[in-house]
Structure 1
Amino acid sequence: MSIPDGWLLDRPDLEPSSWFLFAHGAGAPMDSDFMQSLTAMLVAQGVGVLRFEFPYMAERRLSGGRRPPNRMDVLLASFQEQIDLACDVLQPRALFIGGKSMGGRVASIQAQANFESGKVAGAVCLGYPFHPPGKPEKLRTDHLAGLSCPTLIVQGTRDKLGDCEEVASYALSPAIDCHWLQDGDHDFKPRKASGFTQQQHWQSAADRAVAFMLARES
């Protein structure tokens, strides 16, 4: 298999029945601690993981300077290119798409059309940015109301981009399953008094994602 430039490909020992196309968030690259840890936890349970970087992050890696995210149309086109490449190169039995924060948001927008075309079996969003920090009135939920693509959102209960109370008031599609991590923030980090650790929450997120994928493999 010839691996396209810019991919990080992690596969389990046995041929995976599911592949996860895993996009990074706005501020950290595809090899951040979060991305590395979740990838390892998914691979340990038999899921193949493909990571890539949006154009602005790839440029940042080359130049070393910080760059803001690309416009949404560029992000969407980049994600679609990766979906098409993954289908051609990996020929997966089941391809799931998703990501951390912004990466999950972009995946959720692309999910419906690719689900209808048969390219994608579902979406997994880890820390969905329901609104910008401190701006709960600027919701990013319109497309989530009409989704029929099976979608899992794993969210910390005190995420400042959409906490448990806020999300309960949103009109979300019944195709969306929300899995809550007690006292977790946007990176799933709980406070010490909660009795949980970030590592435990990362493992819980991975476990739930694997169960979601297994239930929807074609």
Structure 2
Amino acid sequence: MNESLTVETPRGPAAVRVTGPTGPALSLLVLGHGAGGGIDAPDLTAVHDAAVAAGVRVALVTQPYRVAGRRAPAPAGQLDEAWTAVVGALRVPGMPLIVGGRSSGARVACRTAPTAQAAGVLALAFPLHPPGKPEKTRVGELPSALPTLVISGERDPFGVPEPAGPVEVLIRPGAVHDLRKGVTETADLAVGWLRRNGWAR
């Protein structure tokens, strides 16, 4: 099942592409894009395809600022507000909800996961700090009480968080922030984590 939706949010319409697996879905995975990119990023595409094949219903969300044709991201509060509205509209009663995304989308998912009552967070290329500014850490955005998987490139200039508590960190050798190197392996790691938590076949 493939479905394209428009979800009205307090920050304008968001676009959503939903793909259902063959047979019943074990969970719902909602993924957001990076600040200047879209849902067609190679790592998002690979994770989407692998998760659907593993029995997961996957929704790819385009934030309202991108729908409106803007490249520069909206402020964090506006991103979070729009994302929360979309996730609320997509939620399936009784089905585990996993939120995530890449880069900026990973930050949004991390910040809003408790409010969204997510079961877990999948963070691709979580940007720990701006390049060259490790003192401006965003480690506080990572969930402290939810199963969270961070997949980062070994040479990511935005930094790589340390594993702590429920936050697991897997590093892709030789990859940078775009995670283009070894996207199949990245998808395999993501689906393996979903399986370990009972959210995928």
Deviating 4+ runs (over 6 angstroms): none
Quote the Cα distance in structure 2 between the aligned partners of 1:132 and 1:95: 29
- Aligned amino acid, residue 73 of structure 2: P
Identity, % of aligned positions? 29
2:176 to 185, 188, 193: 185
- Quick one: higher RCO (CA 8 Å, sep 6+), 1 or 2? 2
1:192 match? none
Q: Equivalences for 1:44-55 in 2 at 5 Å? A: 44-55=53-64
Gaps of 5+ in 1: 61-65, 190-197
Quote the Cα distance in structure 2 between the aligned partners of 1:58 and 1:216: 33
Quote the Cα distance in structure 1 between the aligned partners of 2:23 and 2:153: 32
Q: CA deviation at 1:72?
A: 0.6
Q: Secondary structure at the match of 2:107?
A: helix
1:4 match? 5
Q: Which has the larger radius of gyration?
A: 1
Give the structure with the larger helix fraction: 1
Question: 2:46–2:187: 8 Å Cα contact kept in structure 1?
Answer: no
1:35 to 28, 44, 57: 44
The Cα offsets for residues 125-180 of structure 1, whole Å up to 9 and x where unpaired, read as 00000011222221111233x611110000111111014xxx34xxx631100011
Question: 1:95–1:122: 8 Å Cα contact kept in structure 2?
Answer: yes
Question: 2:128–2:158: 8 Å Cα contact kept in structure 1?
Answer: yes
Q: CA deviation at 1:12?
A: 1.5
Using structure 1 for the length normalisation, give the TM-score: 0.79
Question: 2:18–2:59: 8 Å Cα contact kept in structure 1?
Answer: yes
Quote the Cα distance in structure 2 between the aligned partners of 1:135 and 1:92: 42
1:211 match? 192
- Coordinate RMSD, CA, aligned: 2.1
Question: 2:47–2:191: 8 Å Cα contact kept in structure 1?
Answer: no
Give the structure with the larger strand fraction: 2
